[in-house]
Chain A
Amino acid sequence: QSALTQPASVSGSPGQSITISCTGTSSDVGSYNFVSWYQHHPGKAPKLMIYEGTKRPSGVSNRFSGSKSGNTASLTISGLQAEDEADYYCCSFAGSITWVFGGGTKLTVL
């Protein structure tokens, strides 16, 4: 099972919006509404930011939103803040009770 494809890095200034893409295949992202996104500050536990492609857990800022089209899912962060600087990973159910992650995207807030 190949990893989902994410850009290695993205950057933006405070207040701006950025979007991170996550490209899979018709066997994972394209087949299931089970794409999730995680924020990971090194040395800490990853944190769920988006699940089922578009849903936000309680407590996650509404500046974070998700979408999906075909085999590509996207995470958009609006109104960038310094504390958003982290690594972001997408994940998709891939059938046969397996899951696949993206390679991760390092977000830099300039």
Chain B
Amino acid sequence: EVQLVESGGGLVQPGGSLRLSCAAPEFTFSSYWMHWVRQAPGKGLVWVSRINSDGYSIYYADSVKGRFTISRDNAKNTLYLQMNSLRAEDTAVYYCARMVNYHFDYWGQGALVTVSS
């Protein structure tokens, strides 16, 4: 069974930073595109960012461009999301998800990020 386990969520003040991690120990992590998707309280899923298998091709949603950085360490089977200049509207549960042929076949259970003073 493929497992994705997010960590690093928490409470942070506006303007602060946080780094999320997503551990993927059970499959050939280096072969897959990986994504971050978030869900604000009471709202729907929103795509955040994608990184290709070798980490050299990266895309972001306009809402996080210039503030968030996606990266991966294939030797550690781990995906990251560095979030800087956080705003109240970034408050959400952040999910990592694996992509196969343009669909998300496995997701983590999410990490809650709360931006508040």
CB contact under 8 A between A34 and B44, given known A44-B109, A97-B50: no
A46 to B106, CA, bound (A): 8
Count of B residues near A, CB < 8 Å?
A: 25
A sample of 18 more A-B contacts (CB under 8 A), given A36-B104, A99-B47, is A1-B61, A1-B62, A3-B44, A38-B107, A45-B4, A46-B97, A46-B104, A46-B107, A48-B104, A48-B106, A51-B101, A89-B44, A89-B45, A91-B103, A99-B50, A101-B37, A101-B46, A101-B47
A51 to B104, CA, bound (A): 9
A89 to B107, CA, bound (A): 14
B9 contacts chain A at the CB level, 8 A cutoff: no
Pairs across A and B, CB under 8 Å, 7 listed: A45-B4, A46-B104, A48-B104, A52-B103, A89-B45, A91-B47, A98-B59
Partner of B59, one of A38, A57, A97, A103: A97
B102 contacts chain A at the CB level, 8 A cutoff: yes
Using a CB–CB cutoff of 8 Å, the interface residues on chain A facing chain B are: 1, 3, 32, 34, 36, 38, 40, 43-48, 51-52, 57, 89, 91, 93, 96-104
B105 contacts chain A at the CB level, 8 A cutoff: yes
**CB <8 Å contact, B45 and A34:** no
Best-buried of B103, B105, B106 by chain A (most CB within 10 Å): B103
